[in-house]
A and B are shown apart, each in its own frame.
Chain A
Amino acid sequence: MFKWFGKVNFVPYTKVGEFAEHLKNGKIMGTRCKKCGTVTFPPRADCEKCMESDWEFIQYSRKAKLVTFTQIAAAPTGFEDMVPYTIGVADLPEGGRVLAWVKEIDVKDLKIGMDLKLVPRIFEEIPEIKLYYTLEKP
């Protein structure tokens, strides 16, 4: 089901593929290593700290804090219809960071360090299931 993730998806198969199922149900999940307790986002099946592969999903609060951003005017293949679109990188309090589209905030109003929320989304205009998430005003 990881092929559901992204408008253009380059990686249909992964050990953390169930992430997309949770996203469809409105949940943002990170992973926790059952051995050393490391929590991370994006999800990883293999712990980067202790190298164990015994892990579980944990639900994230959707809180986010803007680290940096850009607005794309020259788009790559598959995204031309969306320009201009804003991409943000945000810290997640549980652990790790996320890269996502920033919705409904003018790029001039974006301030590094500002609070945002991470929102699960479905592409309504695409017939098959296509999921993503956005950074929005809290």
Chain B
Amino acid sequence: MKVAAVAIGHGVFGKRSDASVQELAFEAFRAAMHDGKNLERKDLDAAVLGSVPEYHKQRSLAGVVAEYLGLNPKPIWLTECACASGSAAVRTAYMAIKSGMHDVVAVIGAQKMTELATPEILALMGRVGEVQWESIFGTTFPGYYAMFANAHMHKYGTTKEQLAAVAVKNHYYGSLNKFAMFQKPVTIQRCVEADPVAFPFGIFDCCANADGAACVILANEEKARKFTDEPVWLEGSGCATTSMSVLRRPNHYSIPSAQEAAKQAYMQAGVEAKDIKVADVHDCFTIAEILAYEDLGFAEKGKGGKFVEEKQSYIGGKHPVNVDGGLKAKGHPIGTTGVSMTVEIVKQLRGHADKRQVPNADIGLTHNVGGIGQYCFVNVWRR
């Protein structure tokens, strides 16, 4: 039984002081219900919410989202895999449909990070490292990825300008995406001269904490065409983990869970890296997108910096990546991100991405990393 995305919805990302988390969820959910053909709430069998609960005062968020969206008495549950919580929700819905238990499942990513102040978020994020032996030294999320950047720069000669090239690309595409938090292009010079966050990162190497929601409705083959004329099929779903502690990693210049998840997804879908026409990858930091090129097989190991410098990840290059602005320019509401990536790839494969449309996009990929690769989900989609 094949599984398709039949409807998508996306809200505006940013510091959303105008809305509560369930109100954000409603925006994206309503947009998805309108996107589907004759799609009504009674058609849904269940919902899965991707979110990281520590950011909200509201406990057990799935309950309040189900109520506010008018989904009771249908089942709903939460998935949490740090920054990959949204893709965990996609995979859980996929499993529920594949098993035959449900026919149509709503996947909602919703996150309101800015209920907390930045130092509190830094502390919370830093505790996605190992708290017993690492967080006691004041580790932060930018700090962890910065250590991967330094190791990659040392091993392969990757430069600060190549890191900046990722930011320049993603801010450019963000300027074409009405849902993105940042709408202005930036220059290499501005990026490399920006205020430091964690050496070698300045602020433009880092994505921003954000609020926002996204929604995808998945359905089985039998029902998919009832709700859309343009189903986009989930043909490969890869998922893997790596050690929580960076101390127990084989190295600090690749993400083993991403390599493994990509292998699984490519095999299931019967495709290779070269077949991927458009991808949304996890660029929480500039180095993370360079690691993704290499882990996914878009670029040779160690050549990720050169890949973006040569504009191979722009529209018209070998593998257009994050042409919605990525986490860098869209903002990164962490539980929402995986669902947001899915919305973009579905839009691309339908051919509805306007100025950002990748020509002849028939096979797309999402790559969503939780933590520093503690979790990774790679999905291959085909129109």
Residues of chain A touching chain B, judged by Cβ–Cβ distance below 8 Å, are: 5-11, 14, 41-42, 67-80, 82, 84-85, 87, 89, 96-101, 107, 112, 132
Contacts and interface: CB of A to CB of B under 8 A. Distances in A.
B154 interface: yes
Contacts of A68: 147-148, 150-151, 154, 252
B135 A77 contact: no
Interface in B154-212: 154, 195-199
B119 interface: yes
Given A11-B131, A87-B139, A132-B136, A74 B150 contact: no
B186 to A, nearest CB: 19
A89 B138 contact: no
A1 to B, nearest CB: 14
A75 B140 contact: yes
B139 A74 contact: no
Contacts of A11: 131-132
Given A68-B147, A74-B197, A77-B122, A99 B138 contact: no
Interface of B: 118-120, 122-123, 125-127, 131-140, 142-144, 146-148, 150-151, 154, 195-199, 245-248, 252
A71 B147 CA distance: 9
Contacts of B246: 89, 99
Contacts of B197: 73-74
A72 B119 contact: no
Max chain B Cβ within 10 angstroms of own Cβ: one of A6, A67, A73: A73
Contacts of A70: 143-144, 146-147, 150, 198-199
A94 B183 CA distance: 51
Contacts of B133: 42, 98-99
B151 A67 contact: yes
Given A67-B151, A73-B197, A112-B150, A97 B247 contact: yes
Nearest to B203: A74
Nearest to A99: B134
Given A10-B135, A87-B139, 8 more contacts: A42-B133, A71-B196, A71-B198, A73-B198, A77-B123, A78-B138, A80-B119, A87-B147
Contacts of B143: 70, 72, 87
A69 B248 CA distance: 15
Nearest to A88: B147
Contacts of B125: 76
Nearest to B117: A77
A77 B120 CA distance: 6
Nearest to B151: A68
A6 B126 CA distance: 15
Contacts of A7: 136, 138
A132 B137 contact: yes
Given A68-B147, A70-B146, A70-B147, A75 B138 contact: yes
Nearest to A92: B247
B198 A69 contact: no
Nearest to B120: A77
A75 B137 CA distance: 10
Nearest to A74: B197
Given A10-B136, A99-B246, A132-B136, A73 B196 contact: yes
Contacts of B119: 75-77, 80
Contact of B137 (A14, A73, A100, A107): A100
- Taking each of B127, B146, B199, which has the highest tally of chain A beta carbons within 10 Å of its own beta carbon? B199
Nearest to A82: B138
A72 B198 contact: yes
Nearest to A84: B196
A76 B147 contact: no
Contacts of A78: 123, 138
14 contacts: A42-B133, A68-B150, A68-B154, A70-B146, A70-B198, A72-B138, A74-B122, A75-B138, A75-B140, A79-B138, A85-B138, A87-B147, A99-B133, A99-B134
Contacts of A89: 147, 246-247, 252
A77 B147 CA distance: 20
Contact of B127 (A5, A6, A10, A41): A10
